[in-house]
Amino acid sequence: MAPKNILVTGGAGYIGSHTVLQLLQEGFRVVALDNLDNSSFIAIKRAAELAGDAEKNLSFQKVDLRDKEALSKVFDTIKFDAVIHFAGLKAVGESVQKPLLYYNNNLVGTITLLEVMNAHGCKNLVFSSSATVYGWPKQVPCTEEFPLSAANPYGRTKLIIEEMCRDIQKSDSEWKIILLRYFNPIGAHPSGYIGEDPRGIPNNLMPFIQQVAVGRKAELMVFGNDYNTKDGTGVRDYIHVVDLADGHISALEKLFSDQNIGCEVYNLGTGKGTSVLEMVSAFEKASGKSIPLVMCTRRPGDAEIVYASTDKADRELKWRAKHGIEEMCRDQWNWASKNPWGYGFPESES
């Protein structure tokens, strides 16, 4: 059978680049599309190198999703079997400051993509949603049926896109859509050659720990140690980015094999909760570095405990995360120590 063609929007990004590599290794033909707003072309080059011979099955398009003409041209040249849609802005704080930027980029970008897919008869989609849609869950683990809410414009874009997908699929049963709700992706490819390289000051826990470990930041602020948790700090479900990338391969297999999938949603997490202090201690062990801490007040909008029920993905996608916290920290440190400035250089630090 001829290899299937997959378009990966946001393919140069953190999760995108790991997924591109895995797709190539699984024998897919991949077009990675990105405007490089929050990423570097170096990530694509390195994913291609890691893919060895399969590198020939990868091409890159520097396109903004909102540029309908440019996007249509990409679809004119290749008949895609499916699209994995990662492209979007993801900084929660920035989304509160600049909601229009987020609504424009994430919503207009996705609407344009869906229109172009529709016009070209490509109706298979995997979309990156987020556990953020569970808000502050009343209980854990979070199952896919939990009530949804949005605490900020970023989260609202995820909710709106999920709803749009359900509406589109209802209106036209040829569409097959899988919404993946990621919990907290961390870690890097075990080669240490690709990883997360956030621009500016990181928002999330692991990139911040990493920057303290390599000496770019002096200390980690712990946002709240008065939660009702094992040690008072927030609990999350951290998942190795390679497991997450794997989940996309399973989602594609489901799309291609199940004629009646409709629009389905799956959590991608490990089902295990880890506190901030447990994560710091695991990272210290993996890196041999000490992470100075400053106890601070809670971060507005933060939930206390969030972790996934993984039963549905296990049952229906035949997918389960394989890596634990130790391996996540080991691979994060391997990437960080080999690339203390990410894909960039000290001069570009803001």
As annotated, the active-site residues are: 154
**Residue from 74, 96, 221, 277 binding ligand UD1 (CB under 6 A):** 221
Count of all residues that appear for the chain in the document: 350
**310 phi, psi to nearest 5 deg:** -105, 5
> Which of these ranges, 105-113, 118-126, 220-228, 261-269, lies near ligand UD1 under the rule CB under 6 A?
220-228
Q: Is 273 in the site for ligand UD1 (CB under 6 A)?
A: no
Number of residues lying near ligand UD1 (CB under 6 A) = 20
Q: Per-residue contact track with ligand UD1, 228 to 267, x per CB under 6 A?
A: ------x-x-------------------------------
> Which residues does residue 59 pair with via DSSP β-bridges, in sequence order?
31
- Shortest reach from residue 301's CB to ligand UD1, in Å: 4
Amino acid at residue number 237:
D
- Shortest reach from residue 10's CB to ligand NAD, in Å: 3
Q: Which residues contact 69 (CB under 8 A, 6 or more apart)?
A: none
Q: How many CB atoms lie within 10 A of CB 218?
A: 9
**Residue from 105, 129, 132, 157 binding ligand UD1 (CB under 6 A):** 132
**Distance from C-alpha of 68 to C-alpha of 16, rounded to nearest angstrom:** 21
- Shortest reach from residue 152's CB to ligand UD1, in Å: 7
Q: Which residue in 255, 243, 121 sits closest to 179, CA to CA? A: 255
Closest to ligand UD1 by CB, 70 or 277: 277
Contact 248, 84 (CB under 8 A): yes
Element (H, E) at 264: strand 263-268
Q: Is 333 in the site for ligand UD1 (CB under 6 A)?
A: no
The item of ligand NAD, ligand UD1, none sharing an interface with residue 216, based on CB under 5 to 8 Å by kind, is none
Contact 40, 14 (CB under 8 A): no
> Which residues does residue 265 pair with via DSSP β-bridges, in sequence order?
179
Q: Is 156 in the site for ligand UD1 (CB under 6 A)?
A: no
Task: Look at strands 263-268 and 176-182 and give their pairing.
Answer: parallel
- Interacting residues toward ligand NAD by CB under 6 A: 10, 12-16, 34-39, 64-66, 86-90, 105, 109, 128, 130, 182, 184-185, 204
Distance of CA 332 to the CA centre of its chain: 15
Q: Is 92 in the site for ligand UD1 (CB under 6 A)?
A: yes
> Which of these ranges, 9-17, 18-26, 48-56, 217-225, lies near ligand UD1 under the rule CB under 6 A?
217-225
**Distance from C-alpha of 103 to C-alpha of 112, rounded to nearest angstrom:** 13
Closest to ligand UD1 by CB, 12 or 222: 222
**196 phi, psi to nearest 5 deg:** -90, 135
- Shortest reach from residue 259's CB to ligand NAD, in Å: 27
Which residues here bind ligand UD1, judged by CB under 6 A?
A: 90, 92, 130, 132, 155, 184, 203-205, 208, 220-223, 234, 236, 276, 299, 301-302
